[in-house]
């Protein structure tokens, strides 16, 4: 069991963490705004065209946009999903967005 944990943690070190910025999006009329407590930014790793998510993460709507801002890929990442394999046809620099309720997390990836 210890060997398995060591191998898992070693493979994660080979992956790159995607840094995300968080934004509160609210299409409702003016109100109290977002909660005052900070939101936890998702921990997502990337290696080649594979995204690896933490275990027990919330549901996200994943959107990949090209340099022109056009959506080139979208899917729902359910709490039970730990990996998402992006299409191999994607190559270059992309904006990655994870939407969780009113919170939008934005990062940039190179495939």
**What is the tally of structural domains in the chain?**
1
pLDDT-above-70 percentage for the chain: 77
The enclosing domain of 79 has a CATH number of 2.60.40.3080
Reported confidence tier of residue 24, pLDDT bands at 50, 70, 90: confident
User: What secondary structure letter does DSSP report for 58?
Assistant: P
Please say whether the beta carbons of 53 and 44 come within 8 A. yes
Which tokens is 103 given?
A: 């919170």
Domain that holds residue 102: 2-110
5 pLDDT more than 90: no
Task: Give the per-residue pLDDT at 39.
Answer: 81
């Amino acid at each position: 069991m210890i060997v398995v944990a060591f191998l898992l943690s070693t493979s994660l070190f080979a992956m790159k963490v995607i840094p995300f910025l968080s934004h509160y999006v609210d299409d409702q009329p003016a109100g109290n705004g977002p909660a005052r407590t900070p939101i936890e930014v998702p921990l997502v790793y990337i290696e080649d065209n594979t995204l690896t998510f933490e275990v027990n993460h919330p549901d996200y709507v994943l959107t990949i946009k090209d340099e022109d801002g056009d959506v080139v890929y979208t899917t729902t990442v359910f709490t039970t999903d730990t990996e998402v394999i992006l299409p191999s046809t994607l190559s270059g620099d992309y904006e990655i967005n994870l939407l969780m309720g009113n919170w939008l997390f934005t990062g940039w990836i190179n495939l």
